[in-house]
Amino acid sequence: MQNSILLSEIFGWMSLINVGVLSVASLALIWWGDKITSIHSRLFGVPVPRLKNMYMNYLAQYKLLIFVFNLIPYIALKIIY
């Protein structure tokens, strides 16, 4: 019982930290998107329109991974215990 409570707390903190990282990354792209895009475009040689699609793809995949590996196990443990 205590192990599952500890596991639930761990998943809760993991979820909180990862949602915070996702929020910071999203806000950075909103506020400083042009500056970040120009730096990455010159650094990696990727055209700007493709780079913006890559950013959105990264954020979508990261959000999906947060749901699958952090939030869903946390919610399942909260329902069980």
The reported pLDDT for the residue numbered 65 is 98
The reported pLDDT for the residue numbered 53 is 97
The reported pLDDT for the residue numbered 67 is 98
Q: What is the domain range of residue 70?
A: 2-80
Contact 37, 52 (CB under 8 A): yes
Rounded Cα–Cα distance for residues 31 and 36 (Å): 10
Number of domains in the chain: 1
* Percent of all residues in the chain with a pLDDT value above 90, rounded to a whole number: 95
Residue 67 in tokens: 């749901």
Nearest to 53 by CA among 41, 66, 42: 41
Tokens 């399942």 locate to 76
The answer on pLDDT for 1 being more than 80 is no
